[in-house]
Structure 1
Amino acid sequence: MQRRKIWAGLSSAVLVATPAVSQAAALPAHPHAVEAKADHGLLQLAQAQHKGHAAQPAKAKPADDGEGEGGGGTTLSPSLHFYRGLELIRGHLLVGGELIESGRWAESLPHFLHPEEEIYNSLREDLKSLNIAPFQVALKALSQTVKAKNKEAYVRARVALVERLDAAEKLVQEKEKDKVHFVLEAALETLQQSTDEYGEAFKKGRIANVVEYQDARGFVFEADRLIGTITEALNAKNAEAVKALRASLDDLKATFPTVMPPEKVVKDHGQFLSSVAKFELQLGNFR
């Protein structure tokens, strides 16, 4: 979908990341080689855990789905494009983790396969230009543990991947200056992707594609987490506007009362688009 920016006051050349799960560890003198070795070790462990456990392959979304691109036809800076990709990966991990905690291993698998199959490839050039170590093997190691339905191995592989994501965000952050503006922009990009996913979930007014509904949920909740990382700075700019911004996010989150779709939808696609537009309009208060 073509996306029209209502809010035009932010620069897209600024990046920041606040780790959500763990503190990013300082990279060793030769991080790429050390991390690659560690990733392959995790992958071998995961494959060993998976051996002998049959799993039905998850149905992959079409290669031209667009989840890895972004910008709705616009060109994002490498930093913003990369950060957006990381947040989409985190959104998948968020909803996939929810499904695992409820014992829905099979339903969770697409959310651990899509980051590698759809998103990671679009980040390859950004990894090179930003001089960030690849982490594809860590993604694969995690999905292997999910296929094996091995909770202990899953937890270890997830922690390892999140540490890699945290470290990548930290490295890019060091190259940027304006934390608040960038996080707001990244949150908006993440929400815009959620509108695509939510629209694809519908057929004849009902949720027909559960995975797309869950994608949208993960991206909305990840955008909410992002805003939470800069709430203090936003309050310093305009505390009243923060209340309105939080209210718009709560309204969006209410679209997804549960990780599995409700029998009766809370919002149709048009209403959801309107809610995202309201969030976007609120951003003008923080220019």
Structure 2
Amino acid sequence: MYEKRKVWLAVGAAVLGSSAAQANSTDLEPMQHHNMTIVAPFAGEGEGEGEGEGSGIVDLRVNDSAYLARLGLIRGHLYVGKKLYDQGHLEMAKTHMKHPEDELYAALVPAFTARRVTGFGEELSALADAVIKEQGDDAVNTAYTHLVNAITAAEQVEKKAVKDVLMSLSTMLLTAAEEYDIGVKSGNVVNVHEFQDAYGFTTIAKARIGELTEAQQDAHAAALEEVEGILANLPELWPTITPAGTVEGDSSELYGAAARIELATLN
């Protein structure tokens, strides 16, 4: 986590005027920025390694950007799992299916209660069962559609401040960058699961702006245009989600995009 945080802070410095190459070589002491936190479960819980943990404690019951980011991470896992399934990579797809007892979902349960929204534990189980028990394409497609609809209902993006929606994108891209760091070393994919997770998180982050209502988009047109440009200019870091050999990707692109989106949100 220390090395990842160094890179994140270095790229943040790069956004403010240094080159990415200089940033990656800068030895910065780890520090916390009040907005630069990955989603953590709840105030009072211990820190730990893993997606959305270890860099800051937030309360998903009241923190909208963290809540949306956590839901986005779940979406990302499921998205890449479904894509792998559709491409015929069944065993890989199984590893991305989440269960209600999974930590990503479990941390959200009190938030669902506090926010008076319905969770989607049954839908998660239905999709996981359909894939893992190999129930067939019709069962998988139906379960996936029902689950995506249930997640959308829990997100309620149309009721959130646009600033919080955009900050959730920054958090998701930061998490994607950290996963990419784990997955790719010196151009070699050493952990394909994390490489795939990074793809899923980035894809969902790019798509989330489309969930905003027309009124939300009109009220924040300038910021949204800037963020859309940042996302559109991300290079292709995943030539395939089942890589063989080397890839040309660099996680600094994701770290930099996360930093630039945060800056755009704060301006």
- The reply to whether TM is greater than 0.5 is yes
Match status 1:216 vs 2:216: no
Question: For residues 65 and 106 of structure 1, do their structure 2 counterparts lie closer, same or farther at Cα, with a shift above 3 Å needed?
Answer: farther
Residues 116 and 139, structure 1, Cα contact 8 Å, conserved in 2: no
Q: Which amino acid aligns with 2:68?
A: Y
Q: Deviations over 1:183-235 (max 9, x none)?
A: 11111111111112111113454211111011001111111001233496556
Residues 116 and 140, structure 1, Cα contact 8 Å, conserved in 2: no
Name the structure 2 match of 1:91.
76
Q: Deviations over 1:246-283 (max 9, x none)?
A: 34213435112322236332323345423433443344
Q: Which amino acid aligns with 1:268?
A: D
Name the structure 2 match of 1:143.
128
Name the structure 1 match of 2:50.
66
The runs of 5 or more residues in structure 2 that have no matched partner are 17-32, 38-46
Question: For residues 220 and 137 of structure 1, do their structure 2 counterparts lie closer, same or farther at Cα, with a shift above 3 Å needed?
Answer: same
Match status 1:207 vs 2:201: no
Match status 1:166 vs 2:134: no
Name which structure has the greater RCO, CA cutoff 8 Å, separation 6+.
1
Q: Which amino acid aligns with 1:227?
A: I
Question: For residues 118 and 182 of structure 1, do their structure 2 counterparts lie closer, same or farther at Cα, with a shift above 3 Å needed?
Answer: same
> For 1:71 and 1:282, how far apart are their aligned partners in 2?
25
Instruction: Give the 5 Å matches for 1:12-161.
Output: 64-67=48-51, 69-70=52-53, 72-76=55-59, 77-113=62-98, 116-149=101-134, 150-161=136-147
Residue 268 of structure 1 aligns to a residue whose secondary structure is coil
1:169 deviates by 2.0
Question: For residues 86 and 275 of structure 1, do their structure 2 counterparts lie closer, same or farther at Cα, with a shift above 3 Å needed?
Answer: closer
Q: Which amino acid aligns with 1:72?
A: S
Q: Deviations over 1:3-27 (max 9, x none)?
A: 66899999x9xxxxxxxxxxxxxxx
> For 2:155 and 2:257, how far apart are their aligned partners in 1?
28
Question: For residues 216 and 261 of structure 1, do their structure 2 counterparts lie closer, same or farther at Cα, with a shift above 3 Å needed?
Answer: same
Root mean square deviation of aligned Cα: 3.4
Name the structure 1 match of 2:169.
187
> For 2:95 and 2:163, how far apart are their aligned partners in 1?
32
Give the paired residue count.
228
> For 2:185 and 2:99, how far apart are their aligned partners in 1?
22
Superposition TM-score, scaled by structure 2 size: 0.71
